[in-house]
Chains A and B, each alone.
Chain A
Amino acid sequence: MKAAADMAPALAVDRSRPRSLWSDAWARLLKNRAAVFGGVLVIVLILAALTAPLIAPFDPIKQDLRSSLQPPSPTHFFGTDVHGRDIFSRVLHGAAISLRIGALGTLIGATIGITLGLISGFYGGLTDTLIMRVMDVLLAFPGLLLAIAIVAAIGPGLENVIIAVGVFSMPEFARLVRGSILSAKQQEFMLAARVVGARDVRLMTQHLLPNVLAPILVLATLRIATAILTAASLSFLGLGAQPPTPEWGAMLSDGREYLMLAPHVATFPGLAILVTVLGFNLLGDGLRDALDPRLRV
């Protein structure tokens, strides 16, 4: 009796604070200083992107040739480019563009990839073989090349970059989901769901998908970093955003012509890309460690 009485408070404490995978992970994430730093970077970037039209001191597109190529100063924190545009304002507006490409591209890739992965892993057989073969073909182009090939076919421009980034991200999601489904499918809760008469779509969306949500979240965060880097690379090569869009990669490409005269033109957009990619990577690594300590690389 005494033992039970001793245990009662402990049980009460446990009940008052429900512990789920997500709340545990959240606690672990907050303890990870690198991940918190990454998260703060991401939040600051999102705020900068949302408020750019309000806080940017100058118009990002309007030219003012009298103040061309000025070095950084109290008026122009990051200096001006050859058309006299304030680089700080352009970098702020660029945050909105890059985050939009990163988020939308990853969203498109994740949606299609997850769907294909679910179907592939769930049905197996010929469907699985066909889908995964197509993914193999997409993965046969190393790194950026698939995105370059797509943009070469459908033409440059922001919308097309988003499509290219989406297709480029898709195979990773398909593979990840298929792999997780294959192991989740064997478990007893699936048999139970089947026995009570759940249909295929319900089995996939209600029972299998929640089981693979954690790795999907980790991959998506990391893929946003890749997507932003890819989009900036395409724009740098002249295959993405076109002038006068204040896209970071395109700004850098402009800046290389004045590297000797005004190195700041190329410096700041590059730093912005670096900070953004760093933020998402740190956050993604932190999420992975928090959600599944076994996955640690």
Chain B
Amino acid sequence: MFQYILRRLIGLAPTLFGVTVLIFLLLKVVPGDPARMVAGPDATLEDIALIRAELGLDRPLWVQYVSWIGDLLRGDLGTSTRTYNPVSYEVGLRIPATLELTAISIVIAVIVGLAAGVIAAIRRNSWIDYTSMVVALLGICTPSFWLGLMLMLVFAVWLGWFPTSGRGSWEHLILPGITLGVGAAAIIARVTRSSMLEVLNQDYIRTASAKGLSERATILGHAMKNALIPVVTIIGLQFGYLLAGAVITESVFAYPGMGRLLVESIGFRDFPVVQAILLIFALQFALINLAIDILYAYLDPRISYESRR
């Protein structure tokens, strides 16, 4: 098992290397000369050349990349060109907010998605099944920014149950949490349903029913355990997508997380912050996927930890 984890970690390295190269290059393509921007409109050509040398922009691209990576590894994410604070400080302020939001969304998504999926599978072809699958389909097709605004309109503006925007109390988390979680809940519900249906058709379920086990015990004790294996993968994948979805949800609800900071920073052309946030999102996504693979290997004993020949 340890070897398996180690091998997966090593396997992650080329992708992460590629991710850093891509993020580094993306923001080298950006039109406009950073040295000229720092120098200001009255600068002479010599001034600009001096600043360029000072910023290290006259060095070959790969030297710039290596020094950027070196800084990253030492925990230096650069300086925000908007606030002149260290990027790590700016981003650090926003990380807890985004984690809070994604955590509550995934909880909502898992509870609602699992419940809907299991009930739909047990009561196959009933109105409950049809309703939950239609709702799930709509959940997948609804743009989250529109859903967020509609929830805000009904529950914050008209009914006044929740605040419209911002962060502070737990009430601030409910509407954004639902907005962000709906898509994931819908997909979890669909996968749970089809996985449960597949398991319910297996012989050992019929045996369990035949030997007189109650429906409840059959489903909870025998079916669920096996049906959940693919669901775990989907939950992990959705968790990764929630990070990206947070960009939109946070913008809708003016919620001060990393996603909103990303959009703001793009607007202000604050590229060190943009780079850092993209990197953090990609790293989180990679680690979540890794964790899921490990959990999967643990849950499903048929997956071998030995290296493939």
Residues on A lying within 8 angstroms of B by beta carbon are 133-134, 136-138, 140-145, 148-155, 225, 229, 232-233, 236-239, 249, 252-253, 255-256, 259-260, 263, 266-267, 269-271, 273-274, 277-278, 281-282, 297
Say yes or no: A141 contacts B285, CB within 8 Å: yes
Majority SS of interface residues in chain B?
helix
In the bound complex, residues from chain B placing their C-beta under 8 Å from that of A282 are 137
Say yes or no: B15 contacts A281, CB within 8 Å: no
Segment among B26-34, B85-93, B169-177 that sits at the interface with chain A: B26-34
Say yes or no: B141 contacts A274, CB within 8 Å: yes
Segment among B75-83, B107-115, B244-252 that sits at the interface with chain A: B244-252
In the bound complex, residues from chain A placing their C-beta under 8 Å from that of B241 are 142-143
- Known contacts A141-B244, A229-B143, A237-B263, then 15 further A-B pairs from the complex at CB < 8 Å, ordered by chain A residue: A137-B19, A137-B22, A140-B16, A141-B19, A143-B245, A145-B244, A145-B247, A152-B30, A232-B143, A238-B263, A252-B145, A266-B150, A269-B146, A274-B142, A277-B141
Q: Write out, one digit per residue, whether chain B residues 286-305 have a CB within 8 A of any chain A CB (1) or not (0).
A: 10000000000000000000
Closest to B143 in A: A273
In the assembled complex, the Cα of A154 lies from the Cα of B31 at a distance in Å of 7
Say yes or no: B247 contacts A144, CB within 8 Å: yes
Given contacts A266-B146, A270-B146, contact A239 B263 (CB under 8 A): yes
Q: Write out, one digit per residue, whether chain B residues 4-26 have a CB within 8 A of any chain A CB (1) or not (0).
A: 00000000001110110111001
In the assembled complex, the Cα of A263 lies from the Cα of B149 at a distance in Å of 9
In the assembled complex, the Cα of A175 lies from the Cα of B137 at a distance in Å of 25
Show 5 residue pairs from A and B whose CB-CB distance is below 8 angstroms, ordered by the A residue: A145-B247, A149-B278, A153-B30, A249-B143, A270-B146
The CB with the most chain A CB atoms within 10 A, among B29, B149, B152, is that of B149
The CB with the most chain A CB atoms within 10 A, among B16, B147, B247, B266, is that of B266
Say yes or no: A155 contacts B267, CB within 8 Å: no
In the bound complex, residues from chain B placing their C-beta under 8 Å from that of A232 are 143
In the bound complex, residues from chain B placing their C-beta under 8 Å from that of A259 are 149, 152-153, 157
In the assembled complex, the Cα of A266 lies from the Cα of B148 at a distance in Å of 11
User: Is B240 close to A, CB under 8 A?
Assistant: yes
6 nearest CB pairs, A to B: A270-B146, A137-B18, A143-B244, A153-B26, A277-B141, A278-B141
Which of A145, A149, A236, A238 is within 8 Å of B267, CB to CB?
A: A238
Say yes or no: B137 contacts A281, CB within 8 Å: yes
Which of A141, A152, A237, A260 is within 8 Å of B157, CB to CB?
A: A260
Say yes or no: A148 contacts B247, CB within 8 Å: yes
Say yes or no: B137 contacts A278, CB within 8 Å: yes
In the bound complex, residues from chain B placing their C-beta under 8 Å from that of A239 are 263, 266
In the bound complex, residues from chain A placing their C-beta under 8 Å from that of B282 are 140-142, 145
User: Is B68 close to A, CB under 8 A?
Assistant: no
Say yes or no: A133 contacts B26, CB within 8 Å: no
Say yes or no: B149 contacts A133, CB within 8 Å: no
The CB with the most chain B CB atoms within 10 A, among A133, A253, A256, is that of A256
Say yes or no: B145 contacts A236, CB within 8 Å: yes
The CB with the most chain B CB atoms within 10 A, among A140, A141, A225, is that of A140
User: Is B140 close to A, CB under 8 A?
Assistant: yes
* Shortest Cβ distance from residue A192 to the other chain B in the assembled complex, whole angstroms: 30
In the assembled complex, the Cα of A253 lies from the Cα of B263 at a distance in Å of 14
Say yes or no: B248 contacts A233, CB within 8 Å: yes
In the bound complex, residues from chain B placing their C-beta under 8 Å from that of A152 are 26-27, 30, 266, 274
Given contacts A237-B263, A252-B146, A252-B149, contact A136 B252 (CB under 8 A): no
In the bound complex, residues from chain A placing their C-beta under 8 Å from that of B29 are 153-154
In the assembled complex, the Cα of A297 lies from the Cα of B146 at a distance in Å of 27
Q: For chain B residues 141-168, which have a beta carbon within 8 Å of chain A?
A: 141-147, 149-150, 152-153, 157
User: Is B65 close to A, CB under 8 A?
Assistant: no
Say yes or no: B141 contacts A263, CB within 8 Å: no
In the assembled complex, the Cα of A61 lies from the Cα of B271 at a distance in Å of 33
Say yes or no: A237 contacts B18, CB within 8 Å: no
In the bound complex, residues from chain B placing their C-beta under 8 Å from that of A143 are 240-241, 244-245
Say yes or no: A278 contacts B138, CB within 8 Å: yes
In the assembled complex, the Cα of A101 lies from the Cα of B18 at a distance in Å of 28
User: Is B235 close to A, CB under 8 A?
Assistant: no
Closest to A271 in B: B146
In the assembled complex, the Cα of A104 lies from the Cα of B285 at a distance in Å of 28
